[in-house]
C-alpha cells in the first residue's frame, strides 16, 4: 500500500491533467466569427475594407428541433451577418474546417456570399472557387449559377 | 469475533489487492509511451503467427541455398506501398482483417492504375461527378501528407485556385475516383508538408493544364532539397518545434528558441524500443511483399484475360452481317437438322 501511495501523486496528477473536452469540437463557423465576403456587389467590397470586419451574428440551421438553432454553421448553411453597420443574410461558401472530411475542399479563408431575404444573391459573380457539391443541392442552385470555378 | 475479523480483514486485503492491480494497470495504460509487455507479445503468441514463423523458417532455409535475393524486400518497399503497411500499434492489429483488406485493395487495383507517388509529388485526380457538365471533376495539386493504414489510406492535395489556397483529402481506394496521374514524381526532405499553408503562394501553385514531367527510364526518385521560407504572421503550428529540414524560419526571439530547445526530444532517434513499437517488422513486411508479388502476377493474367474478352466483343459482326448469318442459318435449318455440341 505504501508503494501505491508513493505512486499516486505522480500518476493521479498525470490522470487529472489529461485534458479531455466534454463539448463537441467547434470546428466550423459560429457566432462572432469573422468572415471574408467573396462577391462583386458594392456592399461586399465596402464591407471588407470597413473598420469592423464582417462577422456572423446568427445561424439559421436547425438541429432536429423547431425552437433551437445550431451553434455552428458549415458549408452551404445560411447565416446572419453584421456588415458595415447593417444586418444581411449570407451563405457560407468556404470554410477552414480543421476536422476534414474526404472529398470536401478545405479553404484557407472563411468565405461568404451575400443574399437578400428572398434567397437571391446580391452580386452577379463570385470571385473565389466554390465546392462542387453545391451543384447537387437545389437550394444552392442560384449560387452555383453565378460561380466561376468549381473545386 | 476473531473469525469475523479475520474474514473481513481477508476480504479487505483481497479487495485492496484487486484495487491496487487495477489502478496500476489503468494508470499504466494512460501513461504515454508505456505499453504492458503482455500486450506487446499478444500477437506473437497467437496460433496464426506460430504457423507463419515455422513456414518462413523453412522458406529461408531453401532460399539460402538457391538465391538470396528472393526473400529480401527492397529498401523502398515501405515508401512505395505505405498503404499496405498495417497499424503498428500491437493491440489495434488484427491479422485476419489485414488479410481481407489487402484482398479488397488488390481487387480495386485491378480496376484502375494506382501509381507510385510520394509526399511532395504533383498529382492530378479525376473523380466522377454526375452533376458536372463533363461528368467528372479534376483537381491538380501537390501531395502534402499521406495517412491511415490499409483500405482507409488517404492523401491530401493542395493547390492555389484564384488566389485562394484549397486542400482536398482523397481516399486512395474510393471507387468514385476514375484516374490518378502523377505529373511530377518527386520526394521532399520532410514527410509532412503542412508548412506550405504558411509559405508564400508561389510554392504551391500548379496550373490545371500542367504537362507531366518525364523521367529517364531506370532512374530513381529525385529528391527535391528546396527550403521553403515561412512568411505568414500567424502560424498554424509551432514549426520551430517539429525539427523540419525543408523550412527556412525567420529570426525568432530568444524565448521562443529556448522553448523549442526545452520541448525538443533529440533522444527519440536513439530510442530503440520506440522504434520497435512504431514500425512493422521484417517478418510481417515479407509476408505483405509476397502477397504483392503474387498480386502482380495475377494482375498481368487479369489484363490478358480482359483484353481477350474485349477482342471477342469487337470481332462480333455488325447488325447487317448478323442478319445475313441468321438468314443463312435459317436456310440451313430447313435443309439440315441442327447439330448439338
Do the chains contact at B168 and A148, CB–CB below 8 Å?
no
Q: Are residues B246 and B293 in the same domain?
A: no
Chain centre to alpha carbon of residue B307: 29
B58 pLDDT band, cuts 50/70/90, is very low
Contact A35, A89 (CB under 8 A): no
Structure confidence at residue A7 (pLDDT): 45
Is residue B294, in this structure, part of any structural domain at all?
yes
Q: Report the CATH number at residue B184.
A: 2.30.30.790
Give the domain extent around B286. 281-327
User: Of B168, B174, B175, B236, which to mutate for an interface test with A (greatest number of A Cβ within 10 Å)?
Assistant: B168
Task: Please report residues of A whose CB lies closer than 8 A to that of B24.
Answer: 4, 7
Contact A61, A77 (CB under 8 A): yes
Chain A: give the shortest CA distance to residue B16, in Å.
8
Query: CA–CA separation, A75 vs A88, rounded Å?
Result: 18
Higher pLDDT, B291 or A15: B291
Is residue B218, in this structure, part of any structural domain at all?
yes
A–B CB contacts, 8 A cutoff, strictly below: 75
Q: Are residues B151 and B220 in the same domain?
A: yes
Average pLDDT over residues B233-254: 92
The tens digit of pLDDT for each residue in A96-131 reads: 887 788 999 999 999 999 999 999 999 999 999 999
Q: Is A149 on the interface with B (CB under 8 A)?
A: yes
Do the chains contact at A135 and B139, CB–CB below 8 Å?
no
Contact A90, A115 (CB under 8 A): yes
Residue A106: closest C-alpha in chain B: B167
Q: Is A104 on the interface with B (CB under 8 A)?
A: yes
Q: Considering its fold, how many domains does chain B have in total? A: 2
Q: Are residues B306 and B158 in the same domain?
A: no
Higher pLDDT, B7 or B235: B235
Chain A: give the shortest CA distance to residue B227, in Å.
22
A48 pLDDT band, cuts 50/70/90, is very high
Q: Are residues B210 and B137 in the same domain?
A: yes
Domains of chain A by start residue, with CATH: 33-63+70-146 (2.40.150.20)
Is residue B33, in this structure, part of any structural domain at all?
no
Q: Is A17 on the interface with B (CB under 8 A)?
A: no
A94 forms beta bridges with A111
Structure confidence at residue A95 (pLDDT): 92
Q: Is B138 on the interface with A (CB under 8 A)?
A: no
Query: CA–CA separation, B318 vs B70, rounded Å?
Result: 50
Is residue B300, in this structure, part of any structural domain at all?
yes
A30 pLDDT higher than 70: yes
- By mean pLDDT, which of B55-64, B166-175, B248-257 is the weakest? B55-64
Q: Are residues B302 and B153 in the same domain?
A: no
Mean pLDDT across chain B, nearest whole number? 79
Identity of the residue in A12, A104, A149 whose CB atom sits nearest the CB atom of B162: A149
Q: Is B171 on the interface with A (CB under 8 A)?
A: yes
How much of chain B, in percent, has pLDDT values that exceed 70?
70
Q: Are residues B202 and B313 in the same domain?
A: no
The tens digit of pLDDT for each residue in B250-293 reads: 999 999 999 999 988 888 889 998 888 888 888 888 888 888 88
Q: Is A11 on the interface with B (CB under 8 A)?
A: yes
For residue B141, give the nearest of B108, B174, B117, B116 by alpha carbon.
B117
Q: Are residues B256 and B286 in the same domain?
A: no
Q: Is A48 on the interface with B (CB under 8 A)?
A: no
Q: Is B287 on the interface with A (CB under 8 A)?
A: no
User: Of B124, B166, B198, which to mutate for an interface test with A (greatest number of A Cβ within 10 Å)?
Assistant: B166
Query: CA–CA separation, B218 vs B220, rounded Å?
Result: 7
Which residue bears the cell 509532412? B192
Average pLDDT over residues B110-131: 93
Q: Are residues B202 and B93 in the same domain?
A: yes
B27 pLDDT band, cuts 50/70/90, is low
B215 pLDDT band, cuts 50/70/90, is confident
Element (H, E) at B106: helix B95-111
Is residue B93, in this structure, part of any structural domain at all?
yes
Do the chains contact at B27 and A7, CB–CB below 8 Å?
yes
Is residue B42, in this structure, part of any structural domain at all?
no
Is residue B299, in this structure, part of any structural domain at all?
yes
Chain A: give the shortest CA distance to residue B133, in Å.
10
Task: Please report residues of A whose CB lies closer than 8 A to that of B13.
Answer: none
Q: Are residues B179 and B291 in the same domain?
A: no
Do the chains contact at B132 and A109, CB–CB below 8 Å?
no
Q: Are residues B226 and B95 in the same domain?
A: yes
Is residue B216, in this structure, part of any structural domain at all?
yes
Q: Are residues B85 and B173 in the same domain?
A: yes
Do the chains contact at B166 and A7, CB–CB below 8 Å?
no
Do the chains contact at A106 and B31, CB–CB below 8 Å?
no
Amino acid at each position: 500500500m505504501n508503494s501505491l501511495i508513493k505512486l499516486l501523486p505522480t500518476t493521479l496528477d498525470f490522470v487529472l491533467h489529461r485534458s479531455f473536452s466534454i463539448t463537441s469540437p467547434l470546428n466550423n463557423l459560429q457566432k462572432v466569427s469573422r468572415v471574408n465576403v467573396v462577391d462583386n456587389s458594392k456592399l461586399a467590397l465596402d464591407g471588407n475594407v470597413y473598420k469592423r470586419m464582417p462577422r456572423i451574428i446568427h445561424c439559421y440551421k436547425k438541429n432536429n428541433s423547431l425552437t433551437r438553432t445550431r451553434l455552428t454553421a458549415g458549408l452551404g448553411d445560411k447565416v446572419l451577418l453584421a456588415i458595415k453597420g447593417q444586418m444581411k443574410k449570407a451563405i457560407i461558401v468556404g470554410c477552414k474546417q480543421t476536422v476534414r472530411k474526404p472529398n470536401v475542399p478545405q479553404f484557407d479563408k472563411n468565405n461568404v456570399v451575400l443574399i437578400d431575404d428572398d434567397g437571391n444573391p446580391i452580386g452577379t459573380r463570385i470571385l473565389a472557387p466554390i465546392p462542387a457539391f453545391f451543384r447537387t443541392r437545389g437550394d444552392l442552385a442560384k449560387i452555383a449559377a453565378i460561380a466561376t470555378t468549381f473545386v | 469475533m476473531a473469525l469475523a475479523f479475520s474474514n473481513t480483514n481477508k476480504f479487505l486485503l483481497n479487495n485492496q489487492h484487486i484495487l491496487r492491480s487495477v489502478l496500476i494497470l489503468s494508470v499504466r495504460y494512460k501513461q504515454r509511451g508505456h505499453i504492458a509487455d503482455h500486450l506487446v507479445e499478444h500477437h506473437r503468441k497467437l496460433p496464426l503467427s506460430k504457423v507463419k514463423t515455422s513456414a518462413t523458417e523453412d522458406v529461408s532455409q531453401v532460399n539460402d541455398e538457391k538465391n538470396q535475393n528472393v526473400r529480401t524486400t527492397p529498401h523502398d518497399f515501405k515508401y512505395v506501398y505505405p498503404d499496405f503497411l498495417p497499424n503498428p500499434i500491437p493491440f489495434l492489429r488484427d491479422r485476419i482483417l489485414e488479410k481481407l483488406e489487402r484482398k479488397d485493395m488488390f481487387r480495386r487495383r485491378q480496376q484502375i492504375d494506382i501509381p507510385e507517388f510520394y509526399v511532395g509529388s504533383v498529382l492530378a485526380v479525376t473523380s466522377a461527378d454526375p452533376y458536372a457538365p463533363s461528368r467528372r471533376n479534376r483537381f491538380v495539386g501537390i501531395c502534402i501528407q499521406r495517412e491511415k493504414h490499409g483500405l482507409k489510406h488517404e492523401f491530401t492535395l493542395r493547390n492555389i485556385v484564384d488566389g485562394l489556397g484549397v486542400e482536398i483529402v482523397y481516399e486512395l481506394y474510393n471507387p468514385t475516383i476514375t484516374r490518378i496521374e502523377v505529373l511530377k514524381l518527386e520526394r521532399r526532405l520532410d514527410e509532412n508538408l503542412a508548412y506550405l499553408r504558411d509559405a508564400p503562394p508561389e510554392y504551391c501553385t500548379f496550373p490545371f493544364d500542367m504537362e507531366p514531367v518525364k523521367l529517364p527510364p531506370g532512374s530513381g526518385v529525385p529528391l527535391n532539397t528546396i527550403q521553403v521560407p515561412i512568411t505568414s504572421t500567424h502560424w498554424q503550428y509551432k514549426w520551430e518545434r517539429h525539427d523540419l529540414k525543408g523550412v527556412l524560419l525567420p529570426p525568432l526571439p530568444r524565448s521562443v528558441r529556448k522553448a523549442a530547445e526545452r520541448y525538443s526530444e533529440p533522444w527519440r532517434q536513439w530510442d530503440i524500443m520506440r522504434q520497435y513499437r512504431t514500425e512493422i517488422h521484417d517478418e510481417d513486411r515479407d509476408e505483405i511483399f509476397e502477397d504483392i508479388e503474387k498480386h502482380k502476377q495475377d494482375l498481368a493474367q487479369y489484363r490478358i484475360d480482359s483484353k481477350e474478352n474485349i477482342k471477342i466483343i469487337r470481332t462480333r459482326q455488325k447488325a447487317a452481317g448478323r442478319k445475313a448469318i441468321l438468314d443463312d442459318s435459317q436456310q440451313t435449318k430447313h435443309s439440315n437438322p441442327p447439330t448439338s455440341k
